[in-house]
Amino acid sequence: MNSNDVRSYQSGDRAPIQPVEEFPEDDFEDDKVEIPEPVLPDLDLPQSELDLTMTFETLLSEVTGKTSQPEETTKVQKRASNVLKLAQENAKLQEELKAMNERLEAAQRRQEELGRKLQKRPTS
């Protein structure tokens, strides 16, 4: 290092870069270690007949013995339709019953009014 280098180093700058000595080439590059590929054991496993295109619901229904999903869906939809029809019919019958009660009450009032008029009438 010369005196300029020392001054610049003391003033807070980085030390000058010194050339790195070149290392003699290693002889290890030619001696590459070969790692053997792992050997998998040769197992004689039976082939599976599992259909991997099946859905979870299909598998579950086969295991539990239940009917397939579309059949159950159809049954539920039919039941829902029947319940809706019955609810509509029930509402209609309730309206008819209310109308009949109103007519009956009106008829009873008229009958009572006629009975009162007959009682007020003088008998001759």
| Per-residue pLDDT tens digits for 67-119 | 556 888 899 999 999 999 999 999 999 999 999 999 999 999 999 999 999 88
Distance CA 112, CA 122 (A): 18
End-to-end Cα, the chain, rounded Å = 155
Q: How remote is the C-alpha of 36 from its chain's centroid?
A: 47
Distance CA 110, CA 1 (A): 132
What's the pTM value of the predicted model, to 2 decimals?
0.38
The closest of 72, 53, 55 to 63, measured between CA atoms, is: 55
What's the confidence (pLDDT) of residue 16?
A: 61
Distance CA 96, CA 33 (A): 97
Statement: residue 17 has pLDDT above 80: no
Alpha helices in 1-124 (DSSP H): 3-10, 56-64, 69-120
